[in-house]
Amino acid sequence: MSTSALAANTRPWRSAIVYLLMLAGTVIGFLVVRHYGESLQTSIALPAIAGTKVGVAHRNEALLHVLLALVAVIVTGRLLGQVFRYLGQPPVIGEVIAGILLGPSLLGQIFPEFAGYLLPQSVAPTLGVIAQLGVILYMFVVGLELDPESLRERGHSTVAISHASIVVPFLLGSILALFLYPRLAEPHVPFTVFALFLGAAMSVTAFPVLARILTDRGISRTPLGVVALTCAATDDATAWCLLAFVVGVAQAKVQASFLVLVWTAAYIAAMFLVCRPLLRRWVNSLGDRPTTPGVMAAVFVGLLASALITEAIGIHAIFGAFALGAIFPHDSSLAKDLIRKLEDTVTVLLLPAFFAFTGMRTQIGLVSGMENWMWCGLIIAIATIGKFGGTLVAARVTGLNWREASSLGILMNTRGLMELIVLNIGLDLQIISPTVFAMMVIMAVVTTIATTPIFQHINRGATTEPLA
């Protein structure tokens, strides 16, 4: 047998011997380390070990409850969403109600022990962080879907309608604050902050929910649908700027609020005058190439940086996320790819955490007694009259007929998820009490549910043609 053949035959045995020696050496080495390591255990204080075990157990328990809560709210939300879709309502209403039902308002009343296990207060901080992340990503997607060019193309009429649908409910909400403040406001909250927030909360329109209502009805491309979408987009952008002002005033001391406004104005100017042209140039350089992980990483870094800046300024991280989405080139392949990749993950996985978190904080039982329910009914009435009335009058002045103006007024009264985001900000900042929070959540649900049936009734027998 040749030398090379002998080497070929012995090489597998040699490799096996080396492998076994390596494993044996590792085991022996670990046993030696273990022998000396166990002698060190006596120098470690037992309370520290016990505390570490408790900490790990607590974290594992928190993770268990968060995962369980997400599963429960996703399943319940999807089921209720299908029920509401069958009834002609936006599925998001079912998801919102699912979060409320799983909280103290219903499950906590019927099965308090199970509700305490499913959504214990100890997991609220963890669930809140997930909810905030979901809302930040959601607002970024909303900004991506916003088309600034359409706002310019539709001229001053839609801007006038949109601003009327903000100014009127804002003023009525501020007047309502005169009556609610001495009865339901937190004692440490200045009236100015309470009135500003209540007015801003009354002014919100849920652009994404409205868009889905129009799409489900097949009228998003009709003249009425285009005007409604444009007004809602303008309304959203204006209302978020208004809310940023309110949050800045609420978070800053009186003497520091001016500085917050200055930094906010500088941030907005930098985003539109500096970042927008640079972003457009970068997106154009990418062309229609597939979105790579590197590009996604760059987008997320920019998103988080923008959110961090607005949070540091004092106007909440969601404004930074929305602003970055709004300055993105709307028709670019990157924007469409980002929407396609993020939308399902955000709406199906992350937003249910927000619904569960909102449900934990919503206590319908706080709205007890005839007087509180009268105030809740008044909040719903004022919110509807302000949105519907302001939109109707402005739409008639700009040339729309009564049916179109009424339809537009009802559509602009849709609040949905956007209202919940606003209300959670107010509760986080302790501007509104849990009782007012519960009343406003009821208002958001009622006004959104009322949109579709009233809109169908107004347009019964009407024919609409899509735009060319």
User: Would you call 369 exposed, middle or buried from its count of C-beta atoms within 10 A (0-12, 13-18, 19+)?
Assistant: exposed
CA nearest to 202, candidates 395, 341, 390: 390
User: What pLDDT does 281 receive?
Assistant: 94
- DSSP track, 237-302: HHHHHHHHHHHHHHHS-HHHHHHHHHHHHHHHHHIIIIIHHHHHHHHHHHTTPPPPHHHHHHHHHH
CA distances from 286 to 143, 155, 309, 341 (A): 20, 32, 26, 17
User: What pLDDT does 312 receive?
Assistant: 87
Q: The pTM is what?
A: 0.79
The DSSP 8-state label assigned to residue 349 in this structure reads I
Residue 258, both tokens: 């001016």
Collect the ranges in the chain with pLDDT lower than 50: 1-8, 10, 41-54, 254, 465-468
Residue 228 CB neighbour total at 10 angstroms: 30
| Length, in residues, of the chain | 468
User: What pLDDT does 433 receive?
Assistant: 92
According to the 3-state scheme, what is the secondary structure of 369-394?
Answer: HHHHHHHHHHHHHHHHHHHHHHHHHH
CATH architecture, range 67-458: Up-down Bundle (1.20)
User: What pLDDT does 69 receive?
Assistant: 87
Cα(95)–Cα(353) distance, rounded to whole angstroms?
Answer: 11
Cα(3)–Cα(425) distance, rounded to whole angstroms?
Answer: 81
Residue 326, both tokens: 């709004």
Q: Which residues of 198-227 are buried (b: 16+ CB within 10 A; e: fewer)?
A: bbbbbbbbbbbbbbbbbeebebbebebbbb
